[in-house]
A = this chain, B = another copy of it.
Amino acid sequence: MHIAAKSQHDTTADTIIDAASEVFADKGYEGARVDELARAAGVNKATLYYQIGDKEAVYHAVITRVLARTADEVCAAVAEVDECEEKIRRFINIFARNAGNMRYAAPIMLREVASGGRNLPESAIAEMGRLLGALGEALREGERSGLFRPVNEFMVHMMIVGSLMLYSANEPIRRRNAERHPEIYNEQHFISNEEAGEQVTDLVLAAIANNKQ
């Protein structure tokens, strides 16, 4: 039995969303040009309108996918382990690696936050809820077992996500600044993403540790 091949529609649409993910991550919503999105996808502009819709529709498709993949990756990594500290390590690691999908998610979300979520579609909200849920679950479990002290889950989430998205996204700034101002920058500004994840893991676990145990 032969399974029906994927329609051209899905393939072209995916190609467009792939390309648009890069362009929106690089330029932001207003900075990205529809012509550019089409060129990056290797299609004619009208194809893009046919396949997905107007500029906003493309953006929504991108951001929904980017957040869904982020949540998928995070939840999968966290679900692989049982121990709450390890869950937090896994959570942090996805953000720290800044690989694949996360390379788009960080700049896109930083801009979205800066604009008060103006261009965030309804479909993205549930995905954000999944992220919050993954970390929250691990923190509550750690508290129940006496390993962690009671903390504001959301602030811990902000600390992890904020620090790592900012660290990865500002690499070009650091590199540029270090050339002009070597007196300000040293090796601690240029640790690997992996090492940054370990530093954040260390700091966060120390922050939430229940020392009264």
The answer on a CB contact under 8 Å between A114 and B189 is: no
A117 contact from B128, B164, B172, Cβ within 8 A: B172
Q: Give the residues in chain B near A191, CB-CB below 8 Å.
A: 152, 155
In angstroms, how far is the closest chain B Cβ from the Cβ of A199? 4
Any B CB within 8 A of the CB of A107: yes
Q: How many copies does the complex hold?
A: 2
Stretch from A24-32, A51-59, A63-71 forming part of the interface with B: A24-32
Distance from A14 Cβ to chain B, minimum over Cβ atoms (Å): 24
Contact of A166 among B122, B129, B158, B199 (CB under 8 A): B158
Given the contacts A28-B30, A162-B163, A156 and B115 also touching, CB distance less than 8 Å? no
Does chain B have a CB within 8 A of A113? yes
* Residues of B close to A118: CB separation below 8 A: 172
Q: Which residues of B contact A165 (CB under 8 A)?
A: 162
CA distance A169 to B161 in the complex (A): 14
Q: B116–A172 contact, CB under 8 A?
A: yes
Q: Smallest CB-CB separation from A158: which chain B residue?
A: B163
**B161/A166 in contact, CB under 8 A:** yes
The 5 closest A-B pairs by CB, nearest first: A162-B162, A117-B173, A116-B172, A207-B207, A107-B114
Q: A154-B189, A206-B207, A206-B209 are in contact. List 20 more A-B contacts (CB 8 A).
A: A27-B30, A28-B30, A106-B114, A107-B114, A108-B114, A110-B111, A113-B169, A113-B173, A116-B170, A117-B172, A125-B184, A129-B177, A129-B181, A129-B184, A155-B163, A155-B196, A162-B163, A162-B166, A206-B206, A206-B208
A-B contact pairs, 27 of them (CB 8 A): A30-B30, A31-B115, A107-B114, A107-B115, A114-B114, A114-B169, A116-B169, A118-B172, A120-B173, A125-B184, A128-B184, A129-B177, A129-B183, A153-B188, A155-B163, A155-B191, A155-B196, A155-B199, A155-B203, A156-B203, A159-B159, A159-B163, A162-B162, A162-B167, A163-B163, A204-B207, A206-B208
